[in-house]
């Protein structure tokens, strides 16, 4: 802990005079809060504390300057100012609880002699801070009379407002003759650690087999309340790869490696120790580093749930007014598509684009767009949960897929469930992929490796199979063009008992029941093919079940499998993730999605897609 008694009286007088001048003019142009005008006397102080993560607003857009802090909140703020030093032991108060968000701060403050409680073992956790309390605590904290000269502050038993507290904090920090390290806590949210149930119960509708329910404990960590924006990304990386255009929109079309690089560059720019070392395709995480990083999959789910245990942080259902997804397809629409028997299954707007961070309401932890908008990369390699590792799990040490979570603007609600796991090639840069950042609240131990474990390349003059399932002819037409361009063998996946009539509804019944329909056609010698170009219509945001039958009939180990998909607006949905899981020992390349028939540009777009995947066209 730095020396708390070293302020100069001359410097203090200078600072206080400057503070008083704020009644006439504030230096900031925008405080970030709708209830803090840039011209009020406390505007600079509010902005100063907000930028350093010492005091957040009472909502995404409000600071509540006339509101008050509780005693637990005040010592937590001071603890943040000190960089949250490690503490050991227990406090002596009877009205505090171990493991709460304030626990370390109360222990630190009592050990430093800043708070003594009321006597009789009481701390007064939820009591509001008075001006008298604030003066006394700051007198113990520093010789600088940081509360003097603050408008409306007389040291009485009147409540100390949040604006007055912010002013005292700025005066204290500046009286030390130094600026706190940029990014020490930023505007990130500190989530107290805890134990929660990760995954989904077997009773959860439309759950996947890889969502095994198990108890997990995570330590406290910081997480950004917003997804990384395009402005954030361009400022750090010098470029903006996004498909959608808007400085305040989340960055999209980023690979997992892009997200890793962003974290490291942001850390360096703010004087922090980078969390990651990158060597080729292997990334090693130094868990003791204080720099920015991706949340682990366990941290992400803990944050997304916001203290809830239901399918969504909104309960058993989520609406398009609560999350940005393909609103035409709410949760359980599959069984209510024709006959609307469930009043909770209500269709909503499909925005077909991402939205700004605070457009929709946050979850219980005040985190925005944890579900929907862009699907967020996390650190973990995809694989089965390690049920033996319950404390701060980090996924497998190697794998060729990386997890992304939360679903996106073009996903069905079933893929926004808190437990749903999406897996993708780490060099995928789809327009529904983004990320948010996290930081340690306290140094961890050791290192964790995420190595890429697949060594599959397309040989010269590969043997290609163009396999497709088609109902209306759109996918068949694309398959024929692809066959002509590549010279591959053309194979139609045909059902023994084809769908007739209402194909969409019939396919839904097979999907809902997990049925693998029998096929009439079969590939005679799958072993001869190096590359399988697999076509299908995207139905119900995933792969039609006849294609699943096809995938499960053969061994695709060592092959390259690349999808092409016709769709009605949702692009691939989660079909690429399902494909990746179905062929775990194959390399899944960059997919190609086209709207219905694809139009007049289809042939050119197919050529571009083939080139992107390193497949040459025949001359």
Task: Output b/e per residue, 319-350; b: 16+ Cβ within 10 A.
Answer: bbebbbbbbbbbbbbbebeeeeeeeebbebeb
Q: Which of 35, 71, 309, 290 is nearest to 186 (CA)?
A: 290
Residue 335 has pLDDT above 70, yes or no: yes
**Local structure of residue 196 (DSSP, 8 states):** E
Least confident of 118-122, 286-290, 395-399: 118-122
Both tokens of 150, joined, read 């603050």
| Helix intervals (H) in 213-347 | 230-237, 256-269, 297-305
Three-state DSSP state, 481: helix
Least confident of 128-137, 359-368, 428-437, 486-495: 128-137
CB within 8 A of 44, min separation 6: which ones? 22, 26, 27, 28, 170
pLDDT at 404: 97
Rounded Cα–Cα distance for residues 24 and 44 (Å): 12
Q: What is the pLDDT of residues 593-607, one digit of tens each?
A: 998 899 999 999 999
Over residues 485-503, the mean pLDDT reads: 92
Contact 239, 413 (CB under 8 A): no
Q: What is the pLDDT of residues 397-425, one digit of tens each?
A: 899 999 999 999 999 999 999 999 999 99
pLDDT at 52: 79
pLDDT at 602: 95
- What's the Cα-to-Cα distance from 487 to each of 68, 101, 459, 603, rounded to whole Å? 73, 63, 15, 15
Share of the chain above pLDDT 90, in %: 62
For tokens 């396999």, the residue is 467
- Cα-Cα end-to-end distance for the chain: 72
Taking each helix axis from N to C end, the angle separating 131-141 and 71-81, rounded to the nearest 10 degrees, works out to 30
- Cα 292 vs. chain centroid, distance in angstroms? 13
Q: What is the pLDDT of residues 149-195, one digit of tens each?
A: 788 898 898 999 999 999 888 888 766 543 333 333 467 888 988 99
Over residues 529-553, the mean pLDDT reads: 94
Contact 408, 374 (CB under 8 A): yes
Rounded Cα–Cα distance for residues 474 and 131 (Å): 72
Contact 507, 499 (CB under 8 A): yes
Contact 197, 161 (CB under 8 A): no
533 membership: H or E segment, kind and range? strand 531-537
**Local structure of residue 319 (DSSP, 8 states):** -
Least confident of 14-18, 27-31, 139-143, 405-409: 14-18
Query: Mean pLDDT in the chain?
Result: 88
Both tokens of 86, joined, read 């490690």
Strands (E), 361-476: 375-381, 402-405, 422-424, 433-434, 438-440, 447-450, 464-468
CB within 8 A of 455, min separation 6: which ones? none
Over residues 436-441, the mean pLDDT reads: 94
Both tokens of 123, joined, read 């701390």
Residue 207 has pLDDT above 90, yes or no: yes
Over residues 472-477, the mean pLDDT reads: 93
pLDDT at 485: 96
Over residues 538-566, the mean pLDDT reads: 94
pTM over 0.85: no
CB within 8 A of 418, min separation 6: which ones? 301, 304, 305, 308, 310, 311, 312, 313, 371
Over residues 13-17, the mean pLDDT reads: 31
Contact 434, 369 (CB under 8 A): no
Both tokens of 505, joined, read 């509804």
Rounded Cα–Cα distance for residues 411 and 406 (Å): 10
Least confident of 173-177, 237-241, 299-303, 401-405: 173-177
Contact 65, 32 (CB under 8 A): no
The torsion region of residue 563 among left (phi > 0), alpha (psi -120 to 50) and beta comes to beta
């Amino acid at each position: 802990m730095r020396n708390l008694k070293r302020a100069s009286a001359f410097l203090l007088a200078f600072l206080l005079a400057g503070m008083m001048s704020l009644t006439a003019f504030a230096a900031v142009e925008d405080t970030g809060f709708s209830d803090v005008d840039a011209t009020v006397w406390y505007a600079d102080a509010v902005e100063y504390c907000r930028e350093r993560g010492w005091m957040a607003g009472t909502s995404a857009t409000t600071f509540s300057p006339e509101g008050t802090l509780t005693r637990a909140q005040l010592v937590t703020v001071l603890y943040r100012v000190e960089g949250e030093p490690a503490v050991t032991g227990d406090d002596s108060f009877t009205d505090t609880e171990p493991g709460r968000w304030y626990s370390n701060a109360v222990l630190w403050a009592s050990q430093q002699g800043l708070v003594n409680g009321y006597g009789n073992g009481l701390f007064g956790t939820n009591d509001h801070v008075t001006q008298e309390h604030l003066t006394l605590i700051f007198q113990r904290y520093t010789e600088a009379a940081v509360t003097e000269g603050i408008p409306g502050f007389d040291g009485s038993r009147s409540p100390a407002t949040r604006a007055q507290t912010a002013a005292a904090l700025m005066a204290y920090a500046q009286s030390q003759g130094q600026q706190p390290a940029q990014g020490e806590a930023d505007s990130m949210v500190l989530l107290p650690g805890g134990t929660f149930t990760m995954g989904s119960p077997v009773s959860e509708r439309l759950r996947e087999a890889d969502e095994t329910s198990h108890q997990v404990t995570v330590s406290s960590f910081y997480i950004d309340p917003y997804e990384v924006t395009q402005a954030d990304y361009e400022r750090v990386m010098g470029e903006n790869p996004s498909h959608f255009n808007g400085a305040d929109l989340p960055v999209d079309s980023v690979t997992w490696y892009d997200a890793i690089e962003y974290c490291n560059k942001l850390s360096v720019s703010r004087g922090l120790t980078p969390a990651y070392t990158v060597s080729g395709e292997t990334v090693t995480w130094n868990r003791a580093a204080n720099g920015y990083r991706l949340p682990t999959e366990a941290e992400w789910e803990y944050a997304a749930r916001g203290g809830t245990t239901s399918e969504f942080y909104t309960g058993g259902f989520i609406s398009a007014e609560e999350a940005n997804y393909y609103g035409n397809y709410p949760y359980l629409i599959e069984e209510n598509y024709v006959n609307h028997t469930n009043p909770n299954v209500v269709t909503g707007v499909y925005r077909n684009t991402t939205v700004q961070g605070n457009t929709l309401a946050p979850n219980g932890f005040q985190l925005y767009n944890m579900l929907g908008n862009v699907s967020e990369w996390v650190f973990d390699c995809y694989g089965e949960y390690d049920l033996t590792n319950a404390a701060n799990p980090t996924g497998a040490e190697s794998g060729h897929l990386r997890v992304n979570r939360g679903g996106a603007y073009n996903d069905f609600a079933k893929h926004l469930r808190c437990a749903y796991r999406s897996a993708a090639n780490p060099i995928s840069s789809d327009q529904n992929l983004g990320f948010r950042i996290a930081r340690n609240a306290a140094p961890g131990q050791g290192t964790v490796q995420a190595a890429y474990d697949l060594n599959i390349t397309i040989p010269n003059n590969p043997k290609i199979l163009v396999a497709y399932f088609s109902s209306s002819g759109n996918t068949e037409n694309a398959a024929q063009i692809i066959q002509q361009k590549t010279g591959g063998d053309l194979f139609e996946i045909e059902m023994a008992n084809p769908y007739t009539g209402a194909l969409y509804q019939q396919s839904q019944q097979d999907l809902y029941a997990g049925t693998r329909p029998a096929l009439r056609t079969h590939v005679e010698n799958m072993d001869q093919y190096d590359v399988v170009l697999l076509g299908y219509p995207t139905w119900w945001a995933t792969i039609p079940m006849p294609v699943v039958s096809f995938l499960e009939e053969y061994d695709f180990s060592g092959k390259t499998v690349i999808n092409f998909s016709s769709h009605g607006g949702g692009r691939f949905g989660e079909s690429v993730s399902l494909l990746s899981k179905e062929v775990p020992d194959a390399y899944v390349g960059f997919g190609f999605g086209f709207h219905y028939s694809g139009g007049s540009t289809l042939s050119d777009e197919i050529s571009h897609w083939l080139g992107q995947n390193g497949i040459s066209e025949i001359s």
